[in-house]
Structure 1
Amino acid sequence: MHELFRQSLEDAINLLLESERTVFLNYEKWKVKGYNTGNSRNGYYSRTLSTEYGTLHLKIPRGRLGLFDIKTLESLQEAPAHLEKMIILMYQKGVTTRDISELIEKM
């Protein structure tokens, strides 16, 4: 059960990071709007984040020009317990990871 929460939290944060990059670039993945913009998706790099549920292996997205600055991880480092508990509670209530990502993005 503990591993299920850890994996769900990891999935939700990775989806949130990807959503943050999509908002920054101002176009969805594979959309024509992004062609020849000069700044596009440029893969990921790995980071780990220690939580009370275990170590999360995060895929941090990159932009081609290197201008993408992640705000989510700063929030996670400032108040990890609060965010983790909120995500886990939403997941337990049956909220999908995509919906959780959208809610946190709006916050």
Structure 2
Amino acid sequence: MAKCKTPPTTPGEQIAQQILNNYDIKSAEDVQDVLKQIFGPIFESMLKGEMENHLGHKKHERSEDGDNVRNGYSSKTLKTSLGEVPIRVPRDRQSTFEPQIIKKHQRDVSSIEGKVLAMYARGMSQRDIAATIEDIYGFQMSHEQISTITGCVMEEVEAWRNRPLQSFYPFAFVDCIYVSLRTEYGVQQVAVYVMLAYDVNGCKDVLGLWINETESKHAWMQIFDEL
């Protein structure tokens, strides 16, 4: 005789069962789906910094010559190893802006997506992020231009890291991926810890990213304690 499953009794168990019934939870695939969604804002922040360098002034500031100004955005779809990512590319009135991080006819960014993802991770300082951005651009940008782009990226990163989380998530998944980053010791593979959760409505959210030299039980315990 088959053993009957015990029905959920507590409110939390009932919510969890409802999500399991209504949403197709696949863990690893879901992690990839959510991670690709956070690529866009970083790329847009870097393009914002490039435009600021190009025009010589921040948004809402008056230009010295007054001839060339921002002129909205155009849409573009990037290709990553995790799927397609839509972004907005800034435009200028005179159409003289030539993006470097994603050139006009470029769509494939899979070669740098690991570096971009790592910028979100706790453990990456502003100096680390600046070094990563400089590594991505190579010799295309001066130190002053890299500094401007880093400032735009840090605004996005800090806002994402410090955003308020919900008090309750019925499900959470953890994963660890490895990316190549340039450090003072050369190019190294580092571990990026990923924590994904479902809220009571079945919506997915990345609770956080953390960076470490390798994956370990001790590092995971520190992350759980932090949350």
TM bucket by the smaller chain? 0.7 to 0.9
Cα distance per residue 1:58-88 (max 9 Å; x no partner): 10110011111111113xx598333111111
SS at match of 1:58: strand
Divergent runs of 4+, >6 A: none
**Relative CO higher for 1 or 2, CA cutoff 8 Å, sep ≥ 6?**
1
Aligned amino acid, residue 31 of structure 1: E
Does 1:29 find its partner at 2:29? no
Aligned amino acid, residue 39 of structure 2: L
Does 1:62 find its partner at 2:108? no
69, 92, 101: which one aligns with 1:40: 69
Aligned amino acid, residue 42 of structure 2: A
- What percent identity do the matched residue pairs reach? 27
Stretches of structure 2 that go unaligned for 5 or more consecutive residues are 1-30, 135-145, 148-227
Verify the 8 A CA contact 2:78 2:108 in the aligned structure 1. no
Residues in 1 aligned to 2:46 and 2:59: alpha-carbon distance in whole angstroms: 14
How far off its partner does 1:25 sit? 0.3
Does 1:88 find its partner at 2:121? no
Does 1:5 find its partner at 2:43? no
Stretches of structure 1 that go unaligned for 5 or more consecutive residues are none
TM-score normalised by the chain length of structure 2: 0.39
Residues in 1 aligned to 2:124 and 2:46: alpha-carbon distance in whole angstroms: 14
How many residue pairs get aligned? The number is 102
How far off its partner does 1:9 sit? 1.0
SS at match of 1:72: coil
Verify the 8 A CA contact 2:39 2:117 in the aligned structure 1. yes
Verify the 8 A CA contact 2:115 2:132 in the aligned structure 1. no
13, 21, 46: which one aligns with 1:16: 46
Q: Counting strand residues as a fraction of each chain, which structure ranks higher?
A: 2
SS at match of 1:85: helix
Q: What's the C-alpha RMSD, in Å, of the aligned pairs?
A: 2.9
Verify the 8 A CA contact 1:90 1:100 in the aligned structure 2. yes
